[in-house]
Amino acid sequence: MTTTHDFEATAADGSTVALGDYRGKLLLIVNVASKCGLTPQYEGLEALYRETKDSGVEVIGFPTNQFMGQEPGTDDEIQDFCRSTYDVTFPVLAKVDVNGENASPLYEYLRAEAPGDWGPHLGPFYEHVKEITPAADPGDIKWNFTKFLIGRDGQVIKRYEPPVTPEEIQKDLAQYL
């Protein structure tokens, strides 16, 4: 059975990150962008990371430029932005595609395991994104700051759509710590 631990990713410096190295920890995997209206979620993600890392929670950011070009920078520029603007200490890896034919294998897996809960209940955010993005596969990532909670065993526990804040997710973490 495939799990998140079976995948590798690329760090911003080009080195390989084996997600199997996170075995035994809870992971929150997030596709991020520096020029998005949701970019201030970096602050909440960093706070969540600092508050829970000693309990075995890791946050990993995956920059993507697939949503209205909101992550146009190089990997070095993204690192500088994260550190200087939000004092991010959790890993923000190399830029990836999360949808489409060039999607990261990790994101193909995550989308298949947790297709999401995308719909009108997300209110104005749903209406706005629906207007500006073309119809896509139901499991596709719809926007920046989609989050996946991964169990200590590498299995996907839950997908959180972009408007769900890190503070809301922290409430869910209590049952897994």
Q: Catalytic residue numbers?
A: 36
Closest by Cα among 37, 60, 29, 66 to 140 = 66
Element holding 58 (H helix, E strand): strand 57-63
3-class SS at 92?
Answer: strand
Neighbouring residues of 26: CB distance < 8 A, sequence distance ≥ 6? 52, 56, 57, 58, 149, 150, 151, 152, 173, 176, 177
Residue 19 in contact with residue 4, Cβ under 8 Å? yes
